[in-house]
């Protein structure tokens, strides 16, 4: 088994944190997107969309998409559970996981694509997308601060894949966009301190 | 159990098709977004993001997010399997399901948000987002036509949730954007005829 990795990508990071939380050791193969390695014939044969991360099994089967990789690793290595322990928990973790993706991770990546210097010649950058995107993310941060009331982690008592995805979104928001958690959002701020201090946070 | 529904939404439709494929009967409660019913105090207490569809269990627990609702229904009613029968199948169905969401359903909804008359006063419409979005979706349709080579359905031999999401995306692309499958994409076109002719397609 090996993981094709794009070191700076928040999607790749969430899979690395997931692997670290599971205590697994999976060999990592970095793929250089800047030199077009992900568009090489060899890599496209593994993932025709040319995206990372990608998990290759020993028989050559390739699993793309961060959440699909996490699900496979969770089913093969159930402990510690990071995606729920029964059907209802699994549904609620998935609900929160998707909220963290759709309200934070994807918008933050989209804003970066539309503003980042490195993306200038690779995508059609539209400044207005970034402007409205930042307003939306700020509003959702207020929402998440309210939602965290009385909760240790995103879904409640347990640290799950929803926290992993959210923390990767907030790390990128701060590092790439200068977008920080506001001072009047103590629940969100405390949650972020809590997840960031886990030994796996820099995986 | 009941399903809060937004009849014209492709997200709500994919859950209705999923329910029909499972042969389940779940009472449906339509929510009128145009009159702001989804922003009422009562509804926000069920889903603080005000989105549909939403599955409410008999004890009042609410599951939001289409894919999370499908996962819960799949686990409680495993036959016929629509999300894979073992860990590897489940991971590959999730991979394809997410590709169908990220490459088709979400872009098609985004283009509609940025062009639809009904959204004019509700979101900041940016014409350029729609223009680049359409080009991307067309390119991905060529990709999917290639990927369907030798396959009956999106993931292979079995009809799954990935097909459901893709068919909802293509129905909306045609109806709301006038974006049709090109004549030189026979594999995609045949797949669409195949899934559209299922008795559940108009659920």
What are the pLDDT digits (tens) for B57-100? 999 999 999 999 999 999 999 999 999 999 999 999 999 999 99
Q: Nearest-CA distance from A23 to chain B in Å?
A: 19
Which pLDDT band, with edges at 50, 70 and 90, does A94 fall under?
A: very high
In a domain, A201, yes or no: no
H or E stretch covering A187: helix A186-196
Give the model confidence (pLDDT) of A5-27 as tens digits.
999 899 999 999 999 999 999 99
Is the CB of B172 inside 8 Å of chain A's CB atoms?
A: no
Angle at CA of residue A14, ends A9 and A20, nearest 5° = 125
Q: What is the reported pTM?
A: 0.96
Sheet with B54-56: list strands edge to edge: B28-30, B2-5, B54-56, B62-64
Q: Residues 140-159, chain A: which have Cβ within 8 Å of B?
A: 143, 146-147
Domain with residue A153: its CATH number is 1.20.1050.10
**Chain B residues touching residue A56 (CB < 8 angstroms):** none
Asked if the peptide bond before residue A53 counts as cis, ω within 30 degrees of 0, the response is yes
**Main-chain dihedrals φ then ψ at residue A55, nearest 5 degrees:** -105, 120
Q: Note whether B99 contacts A64, CB cutoff 8 Å.
A: yes
Q: Are residue A92 and residue A188 in the same domain, yes or no?
A: yes
Question: Looking at the domain assignment, is residue A202 inside a domain?
Answer: no
Contact B72/A49, CB-based, under 8 Å? no
Residues B91 and B69 in one domain: no
B48 at A interface, C-beta within 8 A: yes
B70 and B93 assigned to the same domain: no
Cβ-based contacts of B61 with chain A (< 8 Å): 88, 92
Range of the domain at B20: 2-76
ipTM of this complex prediction, to 2 decimal places: 0.95
Could you give the number of structural domains in chain A?
2
Residues B58 and B39 placed together within one structural domain of the fold = yes
Q: Using CA atoms, how far apart are residues A119 and A142, in angstroms rounded to an integer?
A: 29
Best mutation site among A95, A119, A146 for testing chain B: the one with the most B CBs within 10 Å? Answer: A95
Cβ-defined contact of B65 to A95 (cutoff 8 Å): yes
Question: What's the pLDDT tens digit per position in B107-154?
Answer: 999 999 999 888 888 888 998 999 999 999 999 999 999 999 999 999
């Amino acid at each position: 088994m090996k993981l094709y990795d794009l070191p700076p990508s928040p999607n790749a990071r969430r899979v690395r944190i997931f692997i670290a939380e599971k205590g697994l050791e999976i060999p990592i193969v970095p793929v250089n997107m800047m030199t077009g390695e992900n568009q090489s014939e060899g890599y496209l044969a593994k993932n025709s969309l040319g995206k990372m991360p990608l998990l290759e099994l020993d028989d050559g089967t390739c699993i793309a998409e961060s959440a699909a990789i996490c699900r496979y690793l969770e089913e093969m290595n159930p402990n510690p559970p990071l995606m729920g322990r029964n059907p209802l928990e699994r549904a609620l973790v998935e609900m929160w996981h998707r909220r963290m993706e759709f309200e934070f991770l994807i918008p933050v990546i989209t804003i970066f694509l539309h503003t980042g210097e490195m993306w200038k010649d690779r995508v059609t950058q539209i400044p207005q997308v970034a402007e409205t995107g930042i307003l939306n993310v700020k509003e959702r941060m207020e929402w998440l601060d309210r939602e965290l009331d009385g909760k240790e982690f995103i879904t409640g008592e347990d640290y799950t894949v929803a926290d992993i995805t959210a923390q990767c979104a907030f790390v990128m928001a701060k590092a790439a966009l200068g977008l920080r958690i506001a001072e009047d959002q103590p629940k969100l701020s405390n949650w972020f301190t809590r997840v960031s201090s886990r030994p796996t946070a820099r995986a």
